[in-house]
Amino acid sequence: MKQQVFKYLRVYGQISELAIKTLLEYRLNAVVQASFGFVYFAGLFIILQTVFAKTNSLGGWNKAELMVMLGLTSVNWGFIETFYFGNLRRFMMVGVANGTLDSVLTKPVSPQFLISFSQPNMGFVAHPLGLMLFLIYWLWQVEDSITLSSLLSFLVVMIASSIIVYTVFLSYAALAFYLTKSSQTIRALQTLADHAQYPTAIYPFPIFIGLSIVVPIAFIGYFPTVFLFGRGNSLLLSLIVSFAVITYLFSKIIWRISLRRYTSVSS
Amino acid sequence: MTQDGPVISLRNLKKYFKVYKKEPGLLGSVKSLWHREYEEVKAVDDVSFEIQPGEIVGFIGQNGAGKTTTLKVLSGLLYPTSGEVSVLGYNPWDRKAEFQKQFALVMGQKNQLWWDLPAMESFLLNKAIYEVPDTQFKKTLNKLMALLEVEDIVKIQVRKLSLGQRMKCELIAALLHNPKVLFLDEPTIGLDVVMQKVLRDFIKAYNEEFGATIILTSHYMGDVKELCKRAIVIDHGHKIFDGELEQIINRFARNKILSLVLSKKVTHKELQAYGEIREYDYPKATILVPRADAARLAGKILNELEVADVNIEEPTIDAIIRELFLSQSAKRKK
C-alpha cells in the first residue's frame, strides 16, 4: 500500500514536471494564462463590491462570511480546474472517441488516475493562488472567531467534499463510454458550477438538492464554509462523510462497468 | 523468469460487436431515433493459436480482418465475447499491473509521447509509470538509442520530428521496461522504405537481444517476410492459415510461373494453349501454369516452340496472399 502511494506520488511528480515544462515551452502563453488568474480575481472583486454596496447579507450570511465562501469556492474550483477538470473534459471530448484511452489502459497505473491527472493545467494555478489572498483577507475580516472544533470539522468536510466532487465528476466522465457528444455534459456542469459562488441555501429546496447531489457544486464551497463557521451539526457531517463513501463506490462501479463495455476504435 | 510452454495462448476466441445499420438520408436518421436495426459483426470468430517464447509471428489479414481486435484482446483493451486467452499466464483483461509491466503495445497510428516536449521527457514518465530502476533505465535507454541511432533527436520537441523519427521514439518509450511480449500493430505504416528497413532491423535485433515474443501485424509483406518465420493469416475473423511462411506457397499457390524468352514470335493464341498469359512482349513472355503440370508444360514448350530460355518460378508470397484473399471473398459472395 505504502509502496503504491509512493509510486503514484512519483508518477504525479513526473507528470507535474512535464506540465510545467510544457507551459514554459510557450512563454507568452504562460504569461497570458497566469495573468488570466489575476484578471479573474480583480473582476470578481469588483462585482462583489458592487453587489455588497447595496446589501449587507444574503441568505443569512453576512458580507465577510459570504466573501469567505466565495473565496473558498473559487480557490477550490481553481484547483479542480488546474489538476483534473481539464483532463476529464478532454477525456470526454476525445478519450474514447479517438481511442486515446488505449494507451492509458495498457499502463500499470490506474486508468482513472491517468485520465484525471495526466496533464495538469499548470498555467491556471495562478488563479486559485491569487484567490487565496482574497480568501485570507476576508477570513481576517470575519468577526466571530473560528473554534478548533469547527476547524477540525471543516477539514473533515473539505476532505469528504473533495472526494465527492472528484468522484461525481469522474462518474460523469464515464458518460464518454456511452455518449458521442458527452463533452456537452461537462460543459453544462461547468456552467452550473458558476452558481457555486453563491450560498446554495438561497436557492429553493429542489434546486438546493440538485446543486448538492446531482451536481455536487454545493460541496465545492458551501458545505465546507458552513462547518468553518460552526453552522453544521454532527448529522450533516455524518451524511456528508457517508455520501463521500457512496460516491466513491459508485464511481468505482460505474468505471468497472464502463471499461468492460469499452470497444476501442478501429485502427 | 522463464516461461514454460506457450507465452500466448488463445482458445476459441470470439469477439463480436453490435453495430446498428441506418438508411441513408435525413429520413433514415429520423427513423433511427426510435427504431434501430442492429447487426452483429464477428470481428474475431473462433480463433485459436499458441505462440512460444521468443517467436516473431506475422499476423496477416486485410483491413477489418480482425488482426487489431485480436491484439487488443491480447493486451487487455477489449473483453472477449467468449474463449480463453492467456498471455504470460495472465488473463489480459484483468489488467493486473504485474502483467502490464511485461508487455507493450505499439500502434503505428497512435502516439503516446508528449507532443510539446522532447521524447526524453516521456521516457522519464514511463520510467516512473513502469517503476524501472535507474541503472536498468540508463542501460536499456542507451542500448535502444544506439540501435535506433536517435541520440540527438530525443532532445528535440516531438512535434518537430519526422514520422520516422517519432516512430523510433515511440518504440523506445514502449520498450524501456524490457517487455517480454511485444504487440506491434502496423509499426512501419507511412514510413519510407529506408525507415521501414531500419525498424525491421531494430525489431529483429530487439528480439535477439531480449528474447522477446513478438506479434506483428503489417500491410507490408516485406515486414512479415523479413521478420517472421511463422505467419497467421486471418480473414473476416477466421484463421485460415497458421504455419511457416514458406508453407503458404505450398498450401495456397495453385500456379507456377513460366518465364520464357522466345527465339521466334508466336501468336497469343498459340501461347495460350500452355497456360494463362500474364505478360507477353516478344521475346519475353510470362505464363501461369498449374503447379502439378509445370515441369511437363515446360518440356512441352521446349519441344514445340523455339525458345532461348525457360525458367520455372514460384509466385511471390504477396501475390499468393492477394490471391488467397480474393478467393476467400469470392467464396463468401457465393
Please identify, among B204, B225, B249, the residue that sits at the C-terminal boundary of a domain.
B249
pLDDT at B122: 93
Cβ–Cβ under 8 Å, residues A73 and A220: yes
* Best B125, B156, B183, B189 residue to mutate vs chain A (most A CBs within 10 Å): B125
d(CA A186, nearest CA chain B) in Å: 24
pLDDT at A28: 75
Tell me whether residue B334 is in a domain: no
pLDDT at A195: 63
- Cross-chain Cβ contact A266/B157 below 8 Å: no
- Cross-chain Cβ contact B76/A105 below 8 Å: yes
Three-state DSSP state, A88:
helix
pLDDT at A37: 65
- Cross-chain Cβ contact B76/A260 below 8 Å: no
CA distance A68 to A146: 12
Residues 35-74 of B with CB under 8 A from A: 64, 68, 72
Please identify, among B198, B221, B249, the residue that sits at the C-terminal boundary of a domain.
B249
Cβ–Cβ under 8 Å, residues B106 and B183: yes
Cβ–Cβ under 8 Å, residues B181 and B103: yes
| Total number of residues shown for chain A | 267
Residue in B closest to A257 by C-alpha? B79
Residues B147 and B261 in one domain: no
* Best B38, B94, B114 residue to mutate vs chain A (most A CBs within 10 Å): B114
Tell me whether residue B162 is in a domain: yes
Residue in A closest to B79 by C-alpha? A260
Cβ–Cβ under 8 Å, residues B126 and B177: yes
Query: Above 70 in pLDDT, residue B224?
Result: yes
Quote helix, strand, coil % in chain B, to nearest 5: 40, 30, 30
pLDDT at A222: 87
Residue in B closest to A101 by C-alpha? B77
Cell numbers found for residue B46: 473462433
pLDDT at A199: 60
Please tell me which of A44-53, A152-161, A213-222, B284-293 the model is most confident about, judged by mean pLDDT.
A152-161
Tell me whether residue B319 is in a domain: no
Whole-angstrom CA distances from A213 to A184, A209, B118 are 19, 6, 43
CATH of the domain at B277: 3.30.70.980
Please tell me which of B14-23, B110-119, B131-140 the model is most confident about, judged by mean pLDDT.
B131-140
Tell me whether residue B234 is in a domain: yes
Q: Could you give phi then psi for residue A198, rounded to 5 degrees? A: -100, 150
pLDDT at A200: 62
Beta bridge partners of B15: B44
Beta bridge partners of B21: B37
Tell me whether residue B333 is in a domain: no
What integer best gives the mean pLDDT of chain B? Answer: 87
d(CA B194, nearest CA chain A) in Å: 24
The answer to whether ipTM exceeds 0.90 is no
Q: Which residues of chain B have a CB within 8 Å of the CB of A106?
A: 75-77, 100, 103-105
Within 10 A of B36 (CB to CB), how many other CB atoms are there? 10
Tell me whether residue B331 is in a domain: no
Classify the phi-psi angles of B149: left when phi > 0, otherwise alpha if psi is within -120 to 50, otherwise beta: left
- Cross-chain Cβ contact B100/A108 below 8 Å: yes
Strand B181-185 relative to strand B213-217, pairing:
parallel
Classify the phi-psi angles of A187: left when phi > 0, otherwise alpha if psi is within -120 to 50, otherwise beta: alpha
Find the CB nearest A108 among B17, B101, B125: B101
**Alpha helix (H) residue ranges in chain B:** 25-31, 67-74, 97-100, 119-129, 134-148, 163-175, 193-210, 221-227, 245-252, 268-272, 294-304, 317-333
Residues B237 and B280 in one domain: no
Residues B182 and B286 in one domain: no
- For A10-19, B33-42, B275-284, which range has the lowest pLDDT when averaged over its residues? B33-42
Residues B140 and B169 in one domain: yes
Which whole number is the average pLDDT over B192-201? Answer: 86
User: In this predicted model, what pLDDT tens digit does every residue of A122-151 receive, in sequence order?
Assistant: 878 877 887 888 889 888 888 777 889 999
Q: Could you give phi then psi for residue A46, rounded to 5 degrees? A: -65, -45
User: In this predicted model, what pLDDT tens digit does every residue of A19-59 receive, in sequence order?
Assistant: 988 888 777 777 777 777 667 667 777 777 777 777 777 77
Q: Which residues of chain B have a CB within 8 Å of the CB of A109?
A: 97, 129
Q: Could you give phi then psi for residue A33, rounded to 5 degrees? A: -65, -45
pLDDT at B19: 77
- Cross-chain Cβ contact B116/A260 below 8 Å: no
* Best A107, A112, A256, A257 residue to mutate vs chain B (most B CBs within 10 Å): A107
Cβ–Cβ under 8 Å, residues A52 and A63: yes
Three-state DSSP state, A39:
helix
Please identify, among B201, B234, B249, the residue that sits at the C-terminal boundary of a domain.
B249
pLDDT at B108: 78
| Total number of residues shown for chain B | 334
Confidence bin at A206 (pLDDT 50/70/90): confident
Quote helix, strand, coil % in chain A, to nearest 5: 80, 0, 20
Domain count, chain B: 2
Residues B33 and B182 in one domain: yes
Whole-angstrom CA distances from B4 to A119, B12, B75 are 41, 22, 20
Find the CB nearest A107 among B98, B100, B122: B100
Find the CB nearest B129 among A99, A102, A108: A108
CA distance A10 to B129: 8
d(CA B302, nearest CA chain A) in Å: 51
CA distance B169 to B135: 20
- Cross-chain Cβ contact A105/B131 below 8 Å: no
Cell numbers found for residue A198: 453563491
Confidence bin at A197 (pLDDT 50/70/90): low
| H-helix or E-strand spanning residue B234 | strand B230-235
Within 10 A of A5 (CB to CB), how many other CB atoms are there? 9
Residues B31 and B140 in one domain: yes
Beta bridge partners of B307: B262
User: In this predicted model, what pLDDT tens digit does every residue of A90-117 receive, in sequence order?
Assistant: 888 877 877 788 889 999 999 999 999 9
d(CA B126, nearest CA chain A) in Å: 9
Three-state DSSP state, B286:
strand
Which whole number is the average pLDDT over B94-110? Answer: 90
Confidence bin at B179 (pLDDT 50/70/90): very high
Burial tier of B39 (Cβ tally within 10 Å: 0-12, 13-18, 19+): exposed
- Cross-chain Cβ contact A106/B104 below 8 Å: yes
Tell me whether residue B183 is in a domain: yes
Residues B161 and B25 in one domain: yes
Cβ–Cβ under 8 Å, residues A121 and A81: yes
CA distance B256 to B286: 10
- For A208-217, B10-19, B131-140, which range has the lowest pLDDT when averaged over its residues? A208-217
CA distance A169 to A251: 9
Burial tier of A98 (Cβ tally within 10 Å: 0-12, 13-18, 19+): exposed
Residues B100 and B198 in one domain: yes
pLDDT at A182: 67
- Cross-chain Cβ contact A22/B114 below 8 Å: yes
Tell me whether residue B3 is in a domain: no
Q: Which residues of chain A have a CB within 8 Å of the CB of B107?
A: 102-103, 267
H and E: helices and strands count for chain A:
12, 2
Residues B137 and B181 in one domain: yes
Residues B93 and B165 in one domain: yes
pLDDT at B35: 74
Confidence bin at B236 (pLDDT 50/70/90): confident
Residue B263's domain comprises 254-313
CA distance A135 to A141: 10
Query: Above 90 in pLDDT, residue B251?
Result: no
pLDDT at A141: 84
- Cross-chain Cβ contact B121/A18 below 8 Å: yes
* Best B29, B99, B110, B132 residue to mutate vs chain A (most A CBs within 10 Å): B110
Confidence bin at B88 (pLDDT 50/70/90): very high
Residues B218 and B286 in one domain: no
Which whole number is the average pLDDT over B305-317? Answer: 86
Find the CB nearest A107 among B64, B110, B129: B129
CATH of the domain at B150: 3.40.50.300
Confidence bin at A193 (pLDDT 50/70/90): low
Q: Which residues of chain A have a CB within 8 Å of the CB of B103?
A: 106
Confidence bin at B1 (pLDDT 50/70/90): very low
Residues B31 and B141 in one domain: yes
Q: Which residues of chain B have a CB within 8 Å of the CB of A100?
A: 110
